């Protein structure tokens, strides 16, 4: 009997985002309902359901990475563009991470392009209902 592949909220490795919509994402031949955090060490379920809920605590896996692992963090804010709160922007800057907020669909596309170029990129992607 073949071993069953199980996700458990964290999938090690880097993967492109193959689909977005209906409240979730497709990547690595599977789908996930809800928001995701895509980092160089893997893709994980991300608790925030709105961009307003994104803060330093929710981004703890990003801040735990070695300095330089992520140089640009994309924020897919959902269906509306929102500014990065000043305190979060400063925390990212102190960690050597630039940030760019955009609609989630655009963030998925940009992430895929930068990942294909082997750039040190991460993405916090809010799923829209």
C-alpha dihedral sign at 36, 72, 91, 83: negative
Q: What is the pLDDT of residue 129?
A: 75
Query: Do the domain assignments include residue 96?
Result: yes
**CATH number, domain containing residue 105:** 3.40.1230.10
Contacts with 26 (C-beta within 8 Å, 6 or more apart), sequence order: 17, 18, 19, 20, 32
Would residue 60 count as lying in a domain? yes
In a domain, 49, yes or no: yes
Q: Which domain holds residue 53?
A: 12-125
73 inside domain: yes
- How high is the pLDDT of residue 4? 45
Task: Name residue 73's beta-bridge partners.
Answer: 99, 122
Low-confidence ranges of the chain (pLDDT < 50): 1-5
Does 18 map to a domain?
yes
Q: Is residue 37 part of a domain?
A: yes
Give the integer Cα–Cα distance in Å for 88 and 48: 15
pLDDT, position 9: 87
Domain count, the chain: 1
127 Cα distance to chain centroid: 10
**Is 104 among the domain residues?**
yes
In a domain, 80, yes or no: yes
């Amino acid at each position: 009997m073949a071993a069953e592949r199980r996700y458990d909220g964290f999938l090690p490795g880097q993967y492109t985002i193959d689909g977005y919509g209906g409240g979730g994402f497709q990547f690595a031949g599977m789908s996930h309902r809800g928001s995701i955090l895509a980092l160089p060490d893997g893709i994980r379920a991300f608790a925030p359901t709105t961009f307003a809920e994104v803060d330093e605590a929710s981004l703890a896996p990003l801040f735990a990475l070695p300095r330089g692992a992520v140089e640009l963090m994309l924020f897919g804010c959902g269906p509306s563009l929102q500014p990065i709160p000043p305190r979060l922007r400063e925390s990212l800057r102190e960690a050597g991470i630039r940030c760019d907020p955009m609609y989630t669909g655009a963030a998925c596309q940009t992430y895929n392009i930068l990942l294909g170029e082997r750039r040190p990129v991460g993405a916090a992607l809010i799923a829209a209902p």
